Amino acid sequence: MNYNKKTVSDADLGGRKVLLRCDFNVPQDKETGAITSDKRIVASLPTIRYLLDHGAAVIACSHLGKPKGVRKESLSLASVAARLSELLGMDVGFARDTVGEDARTKAAALQPGQLLLLENLRFDPREEKNDPEFARELASMADLFVSDAFGTVHRAHASTAGVAAYLPAYAGLLVEQELSVMGGALDDPKRPFVAILGGAKVSDKIGVINNLLEKADTIIIGGGMAYTFLKAMGCEIGASLLEEDRLDYAREMLQKAKAQNVRLLLPVDTEVGDSFAVDCVHKTVDVREIPAGWMGLDIGPATVALFTEAIRGAGTVVWNGPMGVFEFPAFAVGTEAVAKALAESGAVTIVGGGDSAAAVEKLGYAQRMTHISTGGGASLEFLEGKELPGVACLLDR
């Protein structure tokens, strides 16, 4: 896939109306609806400011939650418009619909240097269906399209890909950074290139492992997915997480790693619990000695040392997925150790969104990482080498 796309710096913005796709899918308090973290709004500010400073009138749009094509006041973007106003120190207009009379009237009246936010795109059932007519109606309000919601570029929706059929399409600063850093890591990494994969399931990372075996020097596998690999190697894994239907795939990947001369590291010891509970009885055992009925819930100290040593010598590290059940304090040690090793490595460090990003933020290592991806699902598909519809539709350089 071509990552070398035209960006806002290539666009003639003066006096133009820009349809800007943002990711304002912010977490909210279930009781009050109040925004509990504005990180995604803050992440959009550099692109918004760039567009406004260069004389554009900006029509921002986003989804929030999963309203499934039905208007739900609890998922209105009105609160996001209010927060944007505070962060930018300016009045932000808000349209009570997406392509209806209110949106069209306010978009038509918008002047250079002004910002309008449309209502939740997913209130219209046509958005997720990538309906051409809905895309055309969105596009009709603007002169060009800017994509700055990396967390949605793996979706072929009307506002992420469809509008590019009707408007010249550019990458925003956030998407530009994702393409530059992650694309560089895959295409021309500083070596040795170490990929760390964790999380619960092998099935979530099948394409990622397969693709990285063509690119990485070392692949580290932890988390629940490691036990399927260990079982494939003949270890008894007790009650640990197992995807029986992925055992052949795990064996195939082990053989491919050997054939490609890629070092594939698996846990050598594990922290096991007698149940899946925060207060379970737990102990450290060799991976070949997991007792019947017990389950592996984190990597053990010998594995921490093994993985840390591999990270220490890396030139580039990409990390996606925790090493254990890190929401349980007793089983957060492995994930914390990996985060610390990345922070101290001196390598180009890329954290692939989701739980890994949350762990790095929680532990206070975020500022010491080269890049933390803003899109969990999108970053996974990026690592898998898939074509991302919301990137493929942008103009090539």
- Look at residues 249, 248, 180 and name the one whose alpha carbon lies nearest to residue 208: 249
> What letter represents residue 295's amino acid?
M
On the question of pLDDT at 101 being above 90, the answer is yes
pLDDT band at 204 (very low <50, low <70, confident <90, very high): confident
Token duo for residue 10? 């290539």
Task: Report pLDDT for 353.
Answer: 65
Q: Does domain 8-174 have CATH number 3.40.640.10?
A: no
On the question of pLDDT at 268 being above 90, the answer is yes
> What letter represents residue 319's amino acid?
W
**What is the torsional sign of CA 17, 170, 26, 159?**
positive
Task: Report pLDDT for 384.
Answer: 87
Burial group, residue 68, by CB count within 10 angstroms (0-12, 13-18, 19+): exposed
Question: What is the helix (H) or strand (E) element at residue 349, kind and residue range?
Answer: strand 348-351
Span(s) in the chain for CATH 3.40.50.1260: 8-174, 181-384
Question: What is the helix (H) or strand (E) element at residue 101, kind and residue range?
Answer: helix 101-109
Domain 181-384: CATH architecture, name and number where available: 3-Layer(aba) Sandwich (3.40)
Question: What is the helix (H) or strand (E) element at residue 38, kind and residue range?
Answer: none
Give SS3 for 304.
helix
Higher pLDDT, 393 or 207: 393
The mean pLDDT value for 365-375 works out to 90
Task: Report pLDDT for 385.
Answer: 85
Task: Report pLDDT for 41.
Answer: 96
What digits encode the pLDDT tens for the residues 231-263? Answer: 999 999 999 999 999 999 999 999 999 999 999
Q: Residue 326 contacts by C-beta under 8 Å, 6 or more apart in sequence?
A: 298, 332, 334, 335, 336, 355, 359
Cα 263 to chain centroid distance, Å, stands at: 26
The percent of residues above 90 in pLDDT, for the chain, comes to: 85
4: phi then psi, degrees, rounded to nearest 5: -90, 85
The mean pLDDT value for 354-360 works out to 84
Which positions are catalytic?
A: 40, 201, 354, 377
With tokens 């209110």, the residue in question is 102
Task: Report pLDDT for 263.
Answer: 97
What digits encode the pLDDT tens for the residues 110-145? Answer: 999 999 999 999 999 999 999 999 999 999 999 999
How far is the C-alpha of 242 from the C-alpha of 229, rounded, in Å?
9
Give SS3 for 28.
strand
On the question of pLDDT at 187 being above 90, the answer is no
- Look at residues 363, 366, 364, 390 and name the one whose alpha carbon lies nearest to residue 377: 390
Q: Do the beta carbons of residue 58 and residue 99 sit within 8 Å?
A: no
With tokens 């290139």, the residue in question is 193
What digits encode the pLDDT tens for the residues 293-323? Answer: 999 999 999 999 999 999 999 999 999 999 9
Report the chain's mean pLDDT, rounded to a whole number: 95
Whether the upstream peptide bond of residue 192 has omega within 30° of 0, thus cis, is: yes
Cα 287 to chain centroid distance, Å, stands at: 31
- Look at residues 59, 62, 79 and name the one whose alpha carbon lies nearest to residue 16: 59
On the question of pLDDT at 376 being above 80, the answer is no
- Look at residues 42, 38, 79, 77 and name the one whose alpha carbon lies nearest to residue 60: 77
Neighbours of 358 (CB within 10 A): 17
What digits encode the pLDDT tens for the residues 18-60? Answer: 999 999 999 999 888 899 999 899 999 999 999 999 999 999 9
- Look at residues 208, 117, 106, 80 and name the one whose alpha carbon lies nearest to residue 154: 208
Helices and strands (DSSP H and E) totals, the chain: 13, 15
The mean pLDDT value for 266-294 works out to 97
Task: Report pLDDT for 333.
Answer: 96
On the question of pLDDT at 150 being above 90, the answer is yes
